Amino acid sequence: MATTNRVDLDGRPITPITICMIGAGGFIGSHLCEKLLLETPHKILALDVYNDKIKHLLEPDSLPWVDRIQFHRLNIKHDSRLEGLIKMADLTINLAAICTPADYNTRPLDTIYSNFIDALPVVKYCSENNKRLIHFSTCEVYGKTIGSFLPKDSPLREDPAYYILKEDASPCIFGPIEKQRWSYACAKQLIERLIYAEGAENGLEFTIVRPFNWIGPRMDFIPGIDGPSEGVPRVLACFSNALLRREPLKLVDGGQSQRTFVYIKDAIEAVLLMIENPARANGHIFNVGNPHNEVTVRQLAEMMTKVYSQVSGEPASEVPTVDVSSKEFYGEGYDDSDKRIPDMTIINRQLGWNPKTSLWDLLESTLTYQHRTYAEAVKKAIAKPTCS
């Protein structure tokens, strides 16, 4: 239950607010809704096309928070209710986006429209109605590191100054236009610039969040079970799907890219601090990730294979991984960033936030959920005869 007499980081009492959450039915939205309902007195106007991941928060009349969450089924692309709902709230959080790498170069127009054009009215309504905005961007806005352009044998590649990503200092370096994989990052960067300009010119109170691979239960989908059969989810769900089906984990271009992963529950703590400490969060861009959980994609695959074997009680596959080219896996126009390691100075200084969960523990939690939720359904799907 929500506690009373809660105070912010500066000791001031926290006043209950109404939050318009766009994309509330997704992975991040579902965890944020849970956190807000369980631990705060705030009200939520939950906007999304789907509500499967928050059904447990909406259905039973007996739940103590039934009057603190309202679900509005709408698509922000073309719904006249959007401005009215933003006006009803004190704060708008925009989580809506196409954010699956497989779509960036196969559906570049949808990707650009979803992440830039469709977000424009949200920014406009917040600015015109003097409403605070927390906008979810991506760590992809950084693109490639400076270090990736140095010679392969350069010792400077190991110098953090050439690869650690800082909100207020690192450049945004994308590949050529024909590499349509950057359509997502470019659209996200442009909406960030527009929000920043609204703040500078029109006084919009904003916070921008740059997530670095948030991981946990309810992430993405398992193709053919609770998502499209032909869909390609992000790396962790891709690997989960392969483990559930006892298929080799596909390593794109050898799995040499380096990534950091942060547990969803740690990350949501950071978002709650932003919500409840506007004086410290307004006007800032925050990296939210865990620099200590850094691995190559190949190492991630090996680790997940071990964790899943432990969670499921089944021996690991004899052929755990298989290498595929990025062209074969993602199609023409794919490109990648080499490393994504967040600098944590600003979020630590402003909000005192640090992630707590190790990579092994977050994989254990996530794969336990995936196994409990999907293992039987996947077995049935595999056993089902297909029509010739």
| Selection from 75, 272, 276, 284 nearest residue 195 by Cα | 284
Residue 329 falls within a domain, yes or no?
yes
Residues 352-370 have a mean pLDDT of: 95
Quote the DSSP letter at residue 24: T
Residue 347 falls within a domain, yes or no?
yes
Segments forming the whole domain that contains residue 171: 97-383
Task: Compute the distance between CA of residue 178 and CA of residue 250 in angstroms, rounded to an integer.
Answer: 25
In 3-state terms, what secondary structure has residue 132?
strand
Q: Count of H helices and E strands in the chain?
A: 14, 15
The count of structural domains within the chain is 1
Cα angle at 18 between 190 and 37, to 5 degrees? 105
Question: 260: which strand partners?
Answer: 294
In 3-state terms, what secondary structure has residue 69?
strand
Residues 139-155 have a mean pLDDT of: 91
Residue 17 falls within a domain, yes or no?
no
Q: Is the pLDDT of residue 318 over 90?
A: no
CATH of the domain at 210: 3.40.50.720
In 3-state terms, what secondary structure has residue 93?
strand
Question: 338: which strand partners?
Answer: none
Instruction: Report residue 305 as tokens.
Output: 């294979």
Q: What's the pTM value of the predicted model, to 2 decimals?
A: 0.91
Task: Compute the distance between CA of residue 237 and CA of residue 373 in angstroms, rounded to an integer.
Answer: 13
Q: Is the pLDDT of residue 223 over 90?
A: no
149 CB-near residues (< 8 Å, 6+ apart): 173
Segment 88-111, tens digit of pLDDT: 999 999 999 877 777 888 889 999
In 3-state terms, what secondary structure has residue 283?
coil
Task: Compute the distance between CA of residue 43 and CA of residue 89 in angstroms, rounded to an integer.
Answer: 9
Residues 67-79 have a mean pLDDT of: 90
Q: Which of 166-180, 181-195, 310-324, 374-388 has the lowest mean pLDDT?
A: 374-388
Residue 176 falls within a domain, yes or no?
yes
Residue 23 falls within a domain, yes or no?
no
CA atoms within 13 A on the CB side of 201: 9
- How far the first Cα of the chain sits from its last, in Å, is 54
Task: Compute the distance between CA of residue 366 and CA of residue 360 in angstroms, rounded to an integer.
Answer: 10
Q: What is the DSSP string of 169-199?
A: T---B---TT-GGGHHHHHHHHHHHHHHHHH
Instruction: Report residue 311 as tokens.
Output: 């969670």
Residue 373 falls within a domain, yes or no?
yes
| Selection from 220, 235, 188 nearest residue 329 by Cα | 235
Q: Is the pLDDT of residue 143 over 60?
A: yes
CB 22 within 8 A of CB 50: no
Residue 27 falls within a domain, yes or no?
no
Q: How many CB atoms lie within 10 A of CB 51?
A: 18
Active site residues: 184
Residue 46 falls within a domain, yes or no?
no
pLDDT value, residue 214: 94
Task: Compute the distance between CA of residue 358 and CA of residue 347 in angstroms, rounded to an integer.
Answer: 19
Q: Is the pLDDT of residue 331 over 80?
A: no
Q: How many CB atoms lie within 10 A of CB 210?
A: 23
- The better pLDDT of the pair 200, 61 is held by 200
